[in-house]
Structure 1
Amino acid sequence: MNKEEFSPMQLDVLKELANIGGGNAATAISQMVGKFINMSVPTIEILEYDEIYEKIMGEEIEVIAVSLRMMGEAHGNFLFVCTEENAKKLVKMMLPPDFEMNEEMEYSAVSELVNIVVTSYLNALSRLLDISLFSSVPAITADMFGAILSYAYIENEQYDDQVMIIKNEFMYDGAKVDSSLYFIPRPGVLENLFQKIGV
């Protein structure tokens, strides 16, 4: 399915799923850290592989990325990406102000945050479709964005050329943190999803 083939109703369904998942994620993170962390209504774009570097982020930009596999009755990869600066801001949101942070703790906190976000999206989708979906253990890495995204494709040659990008904005105590969650579905996953929903 090419992005031009998505109907307005299908895109609305994806946006609503992202909205529900994002709200659940913000609530879960707030409960975990004991702070009110808000998450703006996520925006969704569906882009071809080459368009990502033109519209979203250059290949040579250094990023922190967390990857998780979607498993169960549908398969794909989630890839959470943010800059080093935004990763540190996310960690500050999650840890006490006087907490002494090191790289290991930073990576652990970001991985846990992404695990919560992805699980929230999968739970929303599972409830809507009455299917079983779960994620793998998160894996975090720091590298050039181009290398990380390329690896996500090479890892499984069955993946589509199109990528669903969910833009997230976390807010805490006046600070805003931008991040992107990339979903790379296996062929037929989105078509089957829409078929089950009836749109």
Structure 2
Amino acid sequence: MTPVLTADEHDVIVELMNIGVGRAAHALSQLVQDEVLLSVPKLQFLEAANAREVFCRSMPDLLAGVMQGFQGFMSGRAALLFPEERSLELVRAILGADMSVDEITELEQETLAELGNILLNNCLATLANLLHRKIQTDLPQAFNVDTPHLLNRLSLHDQGDGSMIMLVQIDFSLRASDLQGYLAFLIDLHSADAFIEALRQYLVELTS
């Protein structure tokens, strides 16, 4: 079952992710030499059983992404997702406009993996640090997938075993290149109780 959060707990998750993504955006802006503009995160908790329907309704048909496993006070996978049709533009923004299409295509997976490493690590590390917890991340893996198969690609469970997903959607754009897309963090929270307990302790510290 998805967790039942109070309004304060929901707002804290949004704020923590906002801080983490803000730090990640700063790292990305240095990488692409352009200002990165972000929206306020949109947060949803999903049961694996209905995640596929939500993905198909809210995301493009084809995605380029980077996934990364993590372990610690909570465990699972995080994913950074882009519309596949825009991924080469993003890679070009990182590598430079003077490279040929063939060169950019050849380096696409490696570049996206490095980008995912920067963004996902910033977000997960910030979340853990602010909650006074520890987390470790695996090496990122770049991939392409059609959205109906995203759940399977991330190796999340859809057998109704109580696993659930925290989906955080953030719209972003690069000012100079007018490149638009979004970041989505899909976190399989088998350890949801530990995560929510950390949130509640954080709230107590804020109000004490």
TM-score grouping bracket, smaller chain normalisation? 0.7 to 0.9
Cα RMSD for the two superposed structures: 2.8
CA distance in structure 1 between the partners assigned to 2:18 and 2:113 by the alignment: 21
- What is the CA-CA distance between 1:41 and the residue it aligns to? 2.3
Confirm or deny: 8 A CA contact 2:49 2:160 kept in the other structure: no
Confirm or deny: 8 A CA contact 2:52 2:151 kept in the other structure: no
Q: TM-score, normalised by structure 2?
A: 0.81
Name the stretch that deviates more: 57-66 or 68-77. 57-66
Residue 186 of structure 2: aligned partner: 182
**What secondary structure is seen at the aligned counterpart in 1 of 2:98?**
coil
CA distance in structure 2 between the partners assigned to 1:112 and 1:74 by the alignment: 23
> Identity of aligned pairs, percent?
23
CA distance in structure 1 between the partners assigned to 2:23 and 2:122 by the alignment: 6
CA distance in structure 2 between the partners assigned to 1:192 and 1:68 by the alignment: 24
- AA in 1 matched with 2:44: E
Residue 191 of structure 1: aligned partner: 196
Gaps of 5+ in 1: none
CA distance in structure 2 between the partners assigned to 1:61 and 1:176 by the alignment: 16
Confirm or deny: 8 A CA contact 1:22 1:41 kept in the other structure: no
Deviations 1:108-157 (A, max 9, x none): 222122211111112212221222213111011223333331243458x9
- AA in 1 matched with 2:68: L
CA distance in structure 1 between the partners assigned to 2:160 and 2:134 by the alignment: 21
- AA in 2 matched with 1:185: L
- What is the CA-CA distance between 1:161 and the residue it aligns to? 3.1
- AA in 1 matched with 2:115: L
**What secondary structure is seen at the aligned counterpart in 2 of 1:88?**
helix
- AA in 2 matched with 1:125: L
Confirm or deny: 8 A CA contact 1:159 1:185 kept in the other structure: no
Aligned equivalent of 1:147, options 140, 146, 149: 149
Alignment of 1:13-92 (within 5 A): 13-57=12-56, 61-92=61-92
Residue 172 of structure 2: aligned partner: 170
Q: TM-score, normalised by structure 1?
A: 0.84
Q: Structure 2 vs 1, CA of residues 159 and 98 (structure 1 numbering), >3 Å: closer, same or farther? A: farther
CA distance in structure 1 between the partners assigned to 2:166 and 2:136 by the alignment: 18
Confirm or deny: 8 A CA contact 1:63 1:145 kept in the other structure: yes
Gaps of 5+ in 2: none
Residue 116 of structure 1: aligned partner: 118
Deviations 1:18-47 (A, max 9, x none): 110111001011123332222322221112
Aligned residues: 198
Name the stretch that deviates more: 6-15 or 51-60. 51-60
- AA in 1 matched with 2:169: K
Confirm or deny: 8 A CA contact 2:73 2:194 kept in the other structure: no
